[in-house]
Amino acid sequence: MAIVKSPRRSVRKHSAAIGLSDRSVRRILHNDLNFDTYKIANVQELNDRDMTKRRKSSEQLLEMLNDDGVINTLLMTDEAHFYLSGYVNKQNYRYWAPENPQELHQRLLHSERLTVCCGIASFGVLGPYFFEDNEGAAVAVTSERYVAMLHNFCELELRRRGIDLSSVWFQHVGVTAHTARA
């Protein structure tokens, strides 16, 4: 069976090889063979201390959200990585199998990429900000560069818009709750 031999191959490629429509192949995989699609998950190990931090951070956030003014001064940011080496985001990767194979995918640890950061709040969009050196070449995001972005871009842009920095709550969306400082 082609799916068992090549479970990472897309339904589109399987359907082209056997001369059936994508929809028919999906129906056969799902209804007749009881296969589902699975995405590879990147996970980080959590320990008991992390759970305590997550609970405390969640309780603090709930407390703040009960204050009507906080939601109006919440700035949420996130970044996106644009890979320059042809690497494709795992969001587009599926694995067909009758049960979850718990498969891991290895890739280069430091493939070249451009990182772009944006923020959104009730007062508008902040960004984009490109992590680049003085010559415009993409650079890795380090803690020093991230802090510099906060001071030299976010802080200046908020001040330019006349926003009181002491009233802004900053949340970086990509940061997991268990790494939050309590």
Give the per-residue pLDDT at 179: 47
What pLDDT band is residue 180 in, cutting at 50, 70 and 90?
very low
> Model confidence over 30-44: pLDDT tens digits?
898 888 887 776 666
Percent of the chain with pLDDT over 90: 6
In a domain, 9, yes or no: no
> Model confidence over 112-122: pLDDT tens digits?
778 888 988 88
In a domain, 146, yes or no: yes
Question: In this model, does residue 140 exceed pLDDT 50?
Answer: yes
In a domain, 23, yes or no: no
In a domain, 158, yes or no: yes
What pLDDT band is residue 88 in, cutting at 50, 70 and 90?
low
Question: In this model, does residue 69 exceed pLDDT 90?
Answer: no
What pLDDT band is residue 167 in, cutting at 50, 70 and 90?
confident
Give the per-residue pLDDT at 142: 84
Question: Model pTM?
Answer: 0.49
Residues 70-87 have a mean pLDDT of 74
Range of the domain at 170: 45-91+105-179
In a domain, 15, yes or no: no
Closest CA to 58 of 150, 174, 171: 171
In a domain, 19, yes or no: no
CB neighbourhood size of 31 (10 A)? 9
Give the per-residue pLDDT at 178: 44
In a domain, 38, yes or no: no
Cα(85)–Cα(64) distance, rounded to whole angstroms?
Answer: 42
In a domain, 21, yes or no: no
Query: How many distinct structural domains can be found in the chain?
Result: 1
- Adjacent-strand bridge partners of 171: 76
